[in-house]
Chains A and B, each alone.
Chain A
């Protein structure tokens, strides 16, 4: 099982790097070409969520992205924000999306989760084993090795 691990300081500029690496490893692992756009978007959304949470909580700790290609392509994005931060990840109904009372942050969070849930069939969001934080785990099928 080949594993690539990338850690980056929680700055928006690094999210693109994480996307590029995530797609490169996915292609190498044998994820179908037609899924790569979705892999790119989902890894970006998970990393954006982690960076946003770290900045919101003033955390300088690194965000970690771990990619492994055993029987499938598995990507784990790990943050260290308090777990309650991930509560409230729900898809927003259309009539609320352009509601004046909805803040930009709440909108972006809701839309980001909708994209993750929409593009990743096998998605898990759970607390990390040690200390505060959340792990977003995404799995895609591998079609050739």
Chain B
């Protein structure tokens, strides 16, 4: 399934809803969109992975890049993910210790919910 990217605002956070497959072919589009959002002034960013069917190392690299960019910009960055296969990917790579991961968009967008991007 092709990559889909939709942006909305929830409780002052910019929520990027990602759907489909994030891999070596599609990850550059995700990277571009995240850079656009930060360049446009978004500082509290949440990436919702609930509709992602596939995520590989290039997709994870893009997410880490966004985390670093927001940390530099004094912003916050969080992920929404409750799917066990994806959570396993974060555990195996130890990236579950790097990203704030929330089960729902609501939890991620609570005041200070996504935590500092550090």
Contacts and interface: CB of A to CB of B under 8 A. Distances in A.
Interface string A85-116: 00000001110011010001001110110110
Given A115-B89, A115-B92, A13 B68 contact: no
Nearest to B21: A16
A37 B68 CA distance: 29
Given A15-B24, A107-B61, A98 B68 contact: yes
Interface of B: 21, 23-25, 54, 56-58, 60-61, 64-65, 67-68, 71, 85, 89, 92-95, 97-98
Interface of A: 12-13, 15-16, 19, 37, 40-41, 44-45, 48, 51-52, 92-94, 97-98, 100, 104, 107-109, 111-112, 114-115, 118-119
Nearest to B96: A94
B58 A114 contact: no
A118 B92 contact: yes
B93 A111 contact: yes
Given A94-B97, A112-B57, A114-B93, A104 B24 contact: no
B25 to A, nearest CB: 4
Contact of B61 (A13, A104, A119): A104
State the majority secondary structure of interface residues on A.
helix
Contacts of B64: 97-98, 104, 107
A119 B71 CA distance: 31
B94 A94 contact: yes
Given A15-B25, A114-B93, A98 B60 contact: no
A109 B85 CA distance: 20
Residue in B24, B58, B64, B85 with the greatest tally of chain A CB atoms within 10 Å: B24
Residue in A100, A111, A115, A119 with the greatest tally of chain B CB atoms within 10 Å: A111
Contact of B24 (A51, A92, A100): A51
Given A94-B98, A97-B95, A98-B67, A52 B60 contact: no
Given A13-B25, A16-B25, A100-B68, A44 B97 contact: no
B24 A93 contact: no
